[in-house]
Amino acid sequence: MTGSGELPTDVPTVLVSDQRGRQLLCFLEQLIPLDGHDYVLLTPVDTPVCLFRLREGEEPAPIDTIEATEPILSVADVVLQEHDLTLVRSAVTLTVSGELDEPEPDDLDDEDDEEDDEEVETYELLVSFLVDDQEYGLYIPLDPYFVVARMDGSDAVLVEGEEFDRVQPRIEAELGEREGLQ
């Protein structure tokens, strides 16, 4: 499976926007009607990545909020370009566009069986780099990365804050029911 090389023609895509006007192109996975609104469960077309601070002898620490103009991201841009990849400052998450070799789910299952531990790796290191003598890494989440949005006409608006807290358990319950019927 590749990152964002070619779009499958049989899966619809939706452009979701956040409150800052940033956008993220996603595949439409599920449509869930709730309270007179159509909510959608989406997965990014490009590969989502998470930025971590790396320190010797410590677990990698995620950096949850970072400004698009942060110098760390400029260095990440350069490092990714060496691999013919592009860092995209999207709504919701950073993403990487370009051809990526993503791990096969079967390979991950084998590794989990061999490890026989309680802590399962949930990220794979894509690249690491130094900024001002501090090491950082961009990691690919191995679990599916879902985005919840509300359809507003033909536009998808990111569901955040109180609205997310209110609808998220109901969306999970609806998806659980749907899976039970299959």
Model pLDDT for residues 114-128, shown as the tens digit of each residue = 443 434 568 899 999
Cβ neighbors of 92 (< 8 A, separation 6 or more) are: 16, 18, 24, 44, 147, 158
How many structural domains are present in the chain? 1
Q: What is the share, in percent, of the chain residues with pLDDT greater than 70? A: 82
Which structural domain, as residue segments, surrounds residue 144?
13-101+117-181
109 domain-assigned: no
- pLDDT band at residue 176 under the 50/70/90 scheme: confident
Question: CB-side exposure of 173: number of CA atoms within 13 Å?
Answer: 7
Q: What pLDDT shows up at residue 138?
A: 93
What average pLDDT does this structure show over 73-100?
Answer: 90
111 domain-assigned: no
- pLDDT band at residue 158 under the 50/70/90 scheme: very high
What average pLDDT does this structure show over 44-53?
Answer: 93
Residues paired with 140 in a beta bridge: 124
Record the pTM: 0.76
Higher-confidence residue: 101 or 159? 159
- pLDDT band at residue 41 under the 50/70/90 scheme: very high
22 domain-assigned: yes
